[in-house]
Structure 1
């Protein structure tokens, strides 16, 4: 190789590094701009996976998995083939993401079909044309939330540079995922409380109707309502809502005749 060739090769390497750094910055900026309050948890995680593909050289697709009580709970993917690969992984209970989440370490393989670490998983995904995987644990002060799975069809697609960039991206990604998870849990709790309040209000209205019809006290009315619920094999709130609706219809009918 001539001196000029050596210089040209160095320049190309520097250009590639600069381009990869730029891709990482763009992905991190996109990650920071995600408005978690304006999208579902699944949509948020899907965007994280898409940004991971852009940030990590060699990636053809990525997925994000949250782990609850040691099991995959929420799984999203940037591409259909990733969803199929992860379905295999969680279906048989072995694979790079499961290892990364369980051990809290980065896992890489460039020849899944012959990797003895996950023989059943590797054999299956090789037939799907997927040969490389890079799984990064999503680690926060609260523990390991799950893992980010990055796949490629080519063999040995992820070099040390890809691992470095992936780990750099995974740190703020974990924070974003944690924030989105906390928000989703808070919204679900608020919804449960709202539904509980609505249910209690309907039951109270039904008790008032029974008390006014029979002159019974609150305890007697509650016994009557629970007896109806058991007899009809329906939830208390459903029976209460029927009583309220029936009372409203009767009141409207009397008003129409008046």
Structure 2
């Protein structure tokens, strides 16, 4: 698969996610185009079927992840018993899929996002915190690689969204490092501090991170 094309980039991303995310049974990428959402790459046709159910009812984790502010992370550990996504949860469970994790591409930009990386598990509670962390990293990589590929035909994407994604990722990393050093906590714990502050203040995680970096002497 040609890694210089959009589809080539996305195939490499879903294959990597299937290989490195422990709880991943099925992986797909949702992509937003002028005609709506579609699935250009997946590791199993069932993943596309699950995505398409969500597109049809305009509800579900992969749809939600393209709309959310902040990280654009949507998670459900038991689709059969959840009423969060309407008809999607029971439909997914009937197809043998019980957990889902979706992360928006360009996770720190303003919505709507250009798509989402979707991880499905056949097990109840089949995806844990490690899976979420790895998926966030993969989504950030996918966003950057996809932007670089699409920049050949979209100077606006190259000029605005790519810079924003890279800058946000860098400042979040700096903020995590400050918390880890000053408070003696792990990377996951530092990220949780930032995420909790973002949710409590209703401010984008990247903005919380930037504030921390700007006031590092006061932490």
Which TM-score applies when normalising by structure 2?
Answer: 0.62
Taking the aligned partners of 1:95 and 1:141, their CA distance within structure 2 comes to 20
In structure 1, which of residues 64, 67, 71 is the aligned counterpart of residue 32 of structure 2? 67
RMSD: 2.4
Taking the aligned partners of 2:8 and 2:130, their CA distance within structure 1 comes to 28
Structure (1 or 2) with the greater helix fraction: 1
Judge conservation of contact 2:28–2:39 (CA < 8 Å) in 1: no
- Unaligned ranges ≥5, structure 1: 1-33, 187-258
Taking the aligned partners of 2:153 and 2:43, their CA distance within structure 1 comes to 21
Taking the aligned partners of 2:109 and 2:35, their CA distance within structure 1 comes to 15
Judge conservation of contact 1:140–1:175 (CA < 8 Å) in 2: no
Q: Does 1:172 align with 2:137?
A: no
C-alpha distance after superposition, 1:131-184 (max 9, x if no partner): 010001111676532110010111111111211121122212210121222336
Match of 1:95 in 2: 60
Match of 1:115 in 2: 82
Instruction: Report the alpha carbon displacement of residue 69 of structure 1 after superposing the two structures with TM.
Output: 5.3
Taking the aligned partners of 2:108 and 2:68, their CA distance within structure 1 comes to 15
In structure 1, which of residues 47, 51, 57 is the aligned counterpart of residue 22 of structure 2? 57
Q: Secondary structure at the match of 1:149?
A: strand
Judge conservation of contact 1:145–1:178 (CA < 8 Å) in 2: no
Q: Does 1:154 align with 2:119?
A: no
Taking the aligned partners of 1:140 and 1:65, their CA distance within structure 2 comes to 13
- Unaligned ranges ≥5, structure 2: 156-219
Instruction: Report the alpha carbon displacement of residue 45 of structure 1 after superposing the two structures with TM.
Output: 1.0
Judge conservation of contact 1:41–1:184 (CA < 8 Å) in 2: no
Higher relative contact order, chain-length normalized (CA < 8 Å, sep 6+): 2
Change in Cα spacing, 1:116 to 1:50, as seen in structure 2 (3 Å) is same
Taking the aligned partners of 2:9 and 2:48, their CA distance within structure 1 comes to 16
> Once superposed, which parts of structure 1, at least 4 consecutive aligned residues long, lie more than 6 Å away?
none
Rg (Cα) greater in structure:
1
Judge conservation of contact 2:27–2:117 (CA < 8 Å) in 1: yes
Taking the aligned partners of 1:114 and 1:52, their CA distance within structure 2 comes to 26
Judge conservation of contact 1:67–1:73 (CA < 8 Å) in 2: yes
TM alignment of 1:1-258, pairs within 5 A: 36-37=3-4, 40-68=5-33, 71-104=36-69, 105-139=72-106, 143=110, 144-183=113-152
Taking the aligned partners of 1:131 and 1:140, their CA distance within structure 2 comes to 24
Aligned length: 151
Which TM-score applies when normalising by structure 1?
Answer: 0.53
Judge conservation of contact 1:66–1:74 (CA < 8 Å) in 2: yes
